[in-house]
Chains A and B, each alone.
Chain A
Amino acid sequence: MDAEVATPVTREKKNLLRSDAAQKVGAFAALIILFAFFYFSSPYFRTFDNYVGILLATSVNGILALGVTFVIITAGIDLSVGTVMTFSAVMTAILITNWRLPVPIGILGGILAGGTAGIINGTVISRMKIPPFIATLGMFYATKGLSLVFSDLAPIYFNDTPIFRRIAMDSVLGSIIPGLAVPNAVLIFFGAAIIAALILNKTVLGRYTFAMGSNEEATRLSGVNVAFWKSIVYMLCGLFAGLGGVLMAARLNSAQPALGAGYELDAIAAVVIGGTSLSGGEGSILGTIIGAFIMSVLINGLRINSVPQEIQLVITGVIVVLAVYLDILRRRR
């Protein structure tokens, strides 16, 4: 009798339609359709240079969205990633241009500046029990202000250190495979995405990210130090924002202190389109990447088809709501 007992039951089979895989297939299909539509609508869309443009545009927003994915899976939100990104860019510029420190130190400093902002977010949220919306809204204003203060309200350029721009805009890939001159920034984005996916799916941090979003109290009662891990999640989000800031600065060959606000919403939109639930507990890096690409392909395609920018915004708004609505429909069944 005991032998029979151990045989696993698989009665609780998931409805295939409800599965996470179906969601990703759905989002991916949407991306393909969108891509195909623009592919046939304009010859300018289907050029190598334009593809590179799309990839570049995706990389900064995508990197921000990677960090935001973690935060949203914990059922939190981070409104500060856009301005933290700018703050990191300004810090990098100060270290490299104003203080004439070596470029690697500038890059590291920029990323760490983002991480610091993140850990402050996390501490305020998990120790002071301030809701994430408020805490990160505070950080949004604070970093926006600090960027202007530290930069004296003016852009800082990297004209003395051309190497800095080349880190992002040269193409290592192009030098190995001629004709595939994809800027390094894109590779850095994919590298960051792989690291993010590994952290989310293979490490304790990833496991606790899902657990906290699924049932925070149960996670706490299981002996997990929720306050600590939540801080780490926000720190991670800040680190990704920092990396985004460094890339942004390299791309523009300057730190633009007035830039940044609005990027957090693009990142959140990408995450949500990618199927990560704002109520927490579910989400994926692959989904976020697809979401980020849907956004940039959409904007790029509309622009190439001469759709005015204000109309682009309207369409983006509709797409975001539609994507979430489709997700809700899927879950309802």
Chain B
Amino acid sequence: MGEVILKLEDITKTFPGVLALDQCQFELRSGEVHALVGENGAGKSTMMKVLAGVYKKDAGRILYKGREVEIPNPRAAQLLGISMIHQELNLMPHLTVAQNIFIGREPRSRSRLFLDEKEINQKAEELFSQMHLRLEPRTKVADLTVAKQQMVEIAKALSFDASVLIMDEPTAALTDTEIEELFRIIRQLREKGVGVVHISHRLEELKQISNRITVMRDGHYINTVSTQEATIDQIISMMVGRTIYEATPEIPEKPSQEVVLEVKNLNRGKTIKDVNFELMKGEILGFAGLVGAGRTEVARAVFGADHIDSGEIYVEGKRVHIRRPQDAVRHGIAYLSEDRKRYGLTLSMDVESNLVLAAFKKFTSYLGWVNSSKTNTTAKKYTSMLAIKTPNLQQKVKFLSGGNQQKVVIGKWLTADTNILIFDEPTRGIDVGAKSEIYHLLNSLAQQGKGIIMISSELPEILRMSHRVVVMCEGQITGVLSAAEATQESIMKLATLRSGIVRSDGSNDSNGSKPNQTENEAA
């Protein structure tokens, strides 16, 4: 670790009605990875956004390379050499990869009048080869997977030759292989003397990559510790302000043998190939696999969001035809998308409206009047049942934290009386405290007899929660494991069973008998 390049002192920031940061501090040395942790709403992203010029601080000082600086806008931050990768993907889907990376500083022709498209693509290619990334600069970003889009964001941030790189939950959407890839890049940067701020909820991950950890809570600075000396339990207790013990996996109760959902010979183009599975009453069925294995596609097909080429779906033994999401909802199937903001919530509406939206019929009289006292009671019931943290029911959902937004989505489907719930990455971008709440919630839903499908890219989550684990690879189910059989190794083996998956390292040969994160290290 080198000298201190960045120091934040007494940073205060208020939003209407909320004190988001109260005299917070932070320090970054060159060549260090400094993890920033805290529950949702702790102020991590806000503080980093102040640093990146997205928000203006109300008070406090930013010392950068020994000088006090003002950072009024994102451009100013970039010019100083401070780059930030935001939690939400911030790309222009209609532009190509290269155009996205160099937006705002496009190379121009000699006359300065026109863009130099060739140069843009060439620079992007150079950047990718430096990062050992396989990306085609001319691809439109809209045509990339989420994981690849994330890689584009990282490449973009790196292209600034930043001395400070802030990453707000960069790994949330990535698979283990991709995370390993990212860490390789981070280590590379660290050696070059770049200071990296890493915001993440995955504490095991921080143990691997960070040098120091700063903990924040409720807009306050709590402490900074050396990663080597701190245990995960200590960090968690600083985050939540009380001592909690690393939750041991709850052994899920045996579900009944009653089948609530059966899918037979489901096919859709190249993404779903002959998928068959059964979901029992009261069961949590984990869906594991690498990103792009087709898990989300199966969920969307079952939910009627995408059309299918062939296949049969049975709900409680009866053949059903699901062509549209309405059909699925009518048969009691709910789908909770990984992209909550886009598909799960109407962000500009309040908590109450969101909670009752999927079951509006229940609250309207024959004339179409909404029974507002009834919606209010129901909304109150679920806010307290799910412990949704909101100042009131009229709070717009966009102002809630990620964990609470997720709870609103769950509450919405509970209001609609669905029996089959498909969760797609239910804890993505959610902090540790809220995560275990969501886990408890899933368990209690299962105990109430709901059938739950949980798609997750976090193996510990799959292992902890699932009665059975379906593993997919390249659109096919490569295995179904019982809770007893399922281990990280057995799942990874099945998840990579098919060759032909394009690896980040370019090899395309082995039969994938090993989890492929080891291969990068071999290089």
Q: Are A218 and B92 in contact (CB under 8 A)?
A: yes
Given contacts A202-B115, A203-B113, A214-B95, contact A9 B143 (CB under 8 A): no
Chain A residues, Cβ within 8 Å of B75: 223-225
By CB atoms of chain A within 10 A, which of B105, B106, B133, B506 has the most?
B506
Q: Is the CB of B134 within 8 A of A223?
A: no
Chain A residue contacts of B115, Cβ below 8 A: 202-204, 206-207
Q: Please tell me which one of the listed residues B54, B134, B502 contacts residue A221 in the complex, with CB atoms under 8 A apart.
A: B54
List residues 161-187 of chain B with CB under 8 A from any CB of chain A: none
In the complex, residue of chain B having the shortest beta-carbon distance to the beta carbon of A9:
B134
Chain A, 1-28, CB within 8 A of any chain B CB: 1-2, 4-12, 14
Residue with the highest number of chain A CB atoms closer than 10 Å, among B54, B92, B502, B505: B92
Interchain CA distance A244-B66 in the complex, whole Å: 57
Q: Take A210-B92, A213-B94 as given contacts and tell me if A4 and B106 are in contact as well, using a CB distance cutoff of 8 Å.
A: no
- B125 CB within 8 Å of chain A: yes
Q: Which of B91, B108, B125, B137 contacts A218 (CB 8 A)?
A: B91
* CA of A215 to CA of B134, assembled, Å: 25
Interface residue? A49 (CB, 8 A) = no
A19 CB, nearest partner CB in chain B, Å: 10
Chain B residues with CB under 8 Å of A6's CB are 125, 128-129, 134
State the CA gap A11–B104 with chains docked (Å): 28
Chain A min CB distance to B107 (Å): 10
Chain A positions 187-222 with a Cβ under 8 Å from a chain B Cβ? 198, 202-204, 206-208, 210-211, 213-215, 217-222
Contact B505 A222 (CB under 8 A): no
A281 at the B interface (CB under 8 A):
yes
Q: How far is the CA of A100 from the CA of B137 in the complex (A)?
A: 56
| Residue A282 lies at the interface, judged by CB distance under 8 Å to chain B | yes
Decide if A207 touches B99 in the complex (CB within 8 Å). yes
Query: CB-defined interface of B490-510 with A at 8 Å, one 1/0 digit per residue?
Result: 000000000000100111000
Residue of A nearest to B143 (CB): A12
Query: Given the complex, which residues of A lie within 8 Å of B143, measured CB to CB?
Result: 12, 14
Contact B99 A222 (CB under 8 A): no
- Determine how close the nearest CB of chain B comes to the CB of A73; give it in whole angstroms: 9
The number of residues on chain B lying at the interface, defined by a beta carbon within 8 Å of a beta carbon of chain A, is: 41
CB within 8 Å: A-B pair count: 103
**Which residues from 128 to 166 on chain B have a C-beta closer than 8 Å to any C-beta of chain A?**
128-129, 132-137, 139-140, 143-144, 148, 156
Given A204-B115, A210-B94, decide whether A222 and B132 contact each other with a Cβ distance below 8 A: no
Q: Please, which residues of chain A bring their CB within 8 A of the CB of B137?
A: 8
Chain A residue numbers with a CB within 8 Å of B502 are 9, 11
Docked Cα-Cα span, A99 to B95, in Å, equals 48
> Could you say which of A215, A220, A223, A224 has the most chain B C-beta atoms within 10 Å of its C-beta?
A223
Q: A12-B143, A223-B78 are in contact. Are A4 and B90 (CB under 8 A)?
A: no
B506→A1 contact, CB < 8 A:
yes
The answer to whether B136 and A8 touch across the interface, beta carbons within 8 angstroms, is: yes
Complex contact B90–A218 (CB within 8 A): yes
Please, which residues of chain B bring their CB within 8 A of the CB of A5? 129, 132-134, 505-506
The residue of chain B having its C-beta at the shortest distance from the C-beta of A218 within the complex is B90
B114, A202: Cβ atoms closer than 8 Å: yes
Chain A residues with Cβ below 8 Å from B251 are none
Tell me whether A1 and B505 are in contact (CB under 8 A).
yes
Instruction: Say how far A333's CB is from chain B's closest CB, in angstroms.
Output: 10
B86 adjacent to A221 (CB under 8 Å): yes
Q: Chain B binding site: helix, strand, loop or mixed by DSSP?
A: loop
| Total residues of chain A contacting the partner, CB 8 A | 35
Q: Given that A1-B505, A14-B143, A207-B99 are known contacts, is A215 also in contact with B90, CB under 8 Å in the complex? A: yes
Q: How far is the CA of A10 from the CA of B78 in the complex (A)?
A: 31
**Residues 312-362 (chain B) with a chain A CB within 8 angstroms:** none
A217 with B129: CB separation less than 8 A: no
Q: How many angstroms from the CA of A298 to the CA of B454 in the assembled complex?
A: 55
CB atoms of B103 and A9 under 8 A apart: no
Chain B min CB distance to A155 (Å): 40
Indicate if the CB atoms of B54 and A12 lie closer than 8 Å.
Answer: no
**B460 located at the interface, meaning its Cβ lies under 8 Å from any Cβ of chain A in the complex:** no
On chain B, the residues within 8 Å of A222 by CB distance are: 74, 90, 103-104, 156
Query: Min CB distance, A18 to chain B, in Å?
Result: 9
A12 to chain B, nearest CB (A): 4
B418 within 8 A of A: no
A221 touches B90 (CB 8 A): yes
Evaluate contact between B93 and A7: CB separation under 8 angstroms: no
Is B517 an interface residue when CB atoms closer than 8 A count as contact? Answer: no
Indicate whether B73 reaches chain A with its CB closer than 8 angstroms. Answer: yes
Instruction: Find the A residue at minimum CB distance from B145.
Output: A12
B484 interface residue (CB < 8 Å to A): no
Q: Of B104, B143, B523, which is in contact with the most chain A CB atoms at under 10 Å from its CB? A: B104
What is the CB-to-nearest-CB distance from A269 to chain B, in angstroms, rounded to a whole number?
22
Contact A214-B114, Cβ < 8 Å, known A220-B74, A222-B103: no
Annotate B364-400 by CB proximity to A: 1 below 8 A, 0 otherwise.
0000000000000000000000000000000000000
Q: Is the CB of A214 within 8 A of B125?
A: no
From A8, A210, A214, A220, B134 is in contact (CB under 8 Å) with: A8
**Min CB gap B102→A, angstroms:** 9
Task: From the candidates A1, A14, A204, A215, name the one contacting B91 in the complex (CB within 8 A).
Answer: A215
- Residues on B with C-beta less than 8 A from A8 are 125, 134-137
Contact A217–B90 (Cβ < 8 Å): yes
Report whether B93 and A224 are in contact in the complex, using a CB–CB cutoff of 8 Å. Answer: no
Interface mask (A211-241 → B, CB under 8 Å = 1, otherwise 0): 1011101111111110000000000000000
Find out whether the CB atom of B136 lies under 8 angstroms from the CB atom of A12.
Answer: yes
**Distance between A127 CB and nearest chain B CB, rounded to angstroms:** 15
Q: A9-B502, A210-B95 are in contact. Are A223 and B90 (CB under 8 A)?
A: no
Distance in Å from the Cβ of B458 to the closest Cβ of chain A? Answer: 25
Most buried by A among B90, B94, B113: B94
> Across the two chains, which residue of chain A brings its CB closest to B137?
A8
Q: How far is the CB of A232 from chain B (nearest CB, A)?
A: 15
Q: Complex Cα distance A215/B73, Å?
A: 18
Q: Which residues of chain A have C-beta atoms less than 8 A from B523's C-beta?
A: 1
Nearest chain B residue, comparing its CB with the CB of A19? B140
Interface residues of A (CB under 8 A from B): 1-2, 4-12, 14, 198, 202-204, 206-208, 210-211, 213-215, 217-225, 281-282
Show 13 A/B contacts (Cβ-Cβ < 8 Å), sorted by A: A4-B507, A5-B129, A5-B133, A5-B134, A5-B506, A9-B502, A198-B114, A202-B115, A207-B115, A215-B91, A217-B90, A222-B90, A222-B156
Besides the known contacts A5-B133, A210-B92, A218-B90, 11 further A-B residue pairs in the complex with CB atoms under 8 A apart: A1-B505, A1-B507, A11-B502, A14-B143, A210-B94, A214-B92, A215-B93, A222-B156, A223-B73, A223-B75, A225-B75
Q: Measuring CB to CB, which residues of chain B are less than 8 angstroms from any residue of chain A? A: 54, 73-75, 78, 86, 90-95, 99, 103-106, 108, 113-115, 125, 128-129, 132-137, 139-140, 143-144, 148, 156, 502, 505-507, 523
In the A-B complex, the 10 residue pairs with the smallest Cβ-Cβ separation, listed nearest first, are A281-B94, A223-B75, A4-B506, A214-B92, A218-B90, A214-B94, A6-B129, A202-B114, A8-B136, A223-B104
